[in-house]
Each structure stands twice: as C-alpha cells, then as structure tokens.
Amino acid sequence: MLMNLTLPPINTLSTFAIVNNIHASVGENMQLRKTLMDVAIDLSAVVQHDCPPVSHFRIVVRDHVYLRRLDVIRGDRPSVGANLAIFSTEPDEPLDGAVARQVRVAMAGIIPQEFWSGI
C-alpha cells in the first residue's frame, strides 16, 4: 500500500514551512516513532509577536513503512498541502499505483540543538 505525507497546516496562520533537517534516507525501513524531518514555521510577516515568531517541529512516523521518495530537501519551503514524501508497506512496491492514504505522523514542538546553549 502506498501512502504519502503532505505538509499539514501547523498553525492556522502558516502557509509554508522550512525544512531544517531530514533524518531518514530513501529506502529506509521506518520503524514506529522514527524521526522523519524537522521543520520550522516563521510567522513574523503575518502577525506581531512578543516572543520569537519562529517555531520548530519534529515530524515522527507512526506507521511501519518504507520511505520510498522524498519530495523535499533541506532548505526547501513547501507550502501547506505540498507533498513531502511517499511511503510503502513493502520495500519494493511499485510507485506508480494510487496512494491509499496519508501516513500517520506525530508532530511535536522542539528546541533545535543550536539553541540549547541559551537554556
């Protein structure tokens, strides 16, 4: 079965995200709770803030799947709804079939390691 992942609306005001890191490789067996990627949203152009307007999130896979295709690279700015990746339940499943559903993921706010020194 083929599954995809599109960029969800992380915040009601977000229209895109910035791909900060990709933690998986094409062909990798994505065990449950495997980190796929880190993204950030920047709302500085949308609304005034009293705190930094950039938020960081980690996307973790909640299905046992194989990462078959990545449609983004580090530094990309995909729009909400843009395809990020394709997954399959079998490692050699053809990718020309129809996508059955979205892969299940969990998203959590994170503090990137480069900011840890200020904590």
CATH code of the domain containing 107: 2.40.50.100
**Would 56 be classed as within a structural domain?**
yes
**Would 50 be classed as within a structural domain?**
yes
**Would 119 be classed as within a structural domain?**
no
Ramachandran sector of residue 81 (left: φ over 0; alpha: ψ -120 to 50; beta: rest): left
Helix (H, G, I), strand (E, B) or coil at 114: helix
**Cα separation values, 84 from 30, 51, 60, 74, Å:** 15, 29, 13, 11
Instruction: Read off the pLDDT of residues 31-90 as tens digits, 9 standing for 90 and up.
Output: 889 999 999 998 776 666 566 667 899 999 999 999 999 999 999 999 999 999 999 999
Rg (CA), the chain: 15
**Would 92 be classed as within a structural domain?**
yes
Q: Is the pLDDT of residue 1 over 60?
A: yes
59 token code pair: 């996307």
Total domain count for the chain?
A: 1
Structural domain including 95 reads 2-114
Q: Is the pLDDT of residue 119 over 60?
A: no
Nearest to 63 by CA among 24, 89, 32: 32
Q: What is the mean pLDDT of residues 84-98?
A: 96
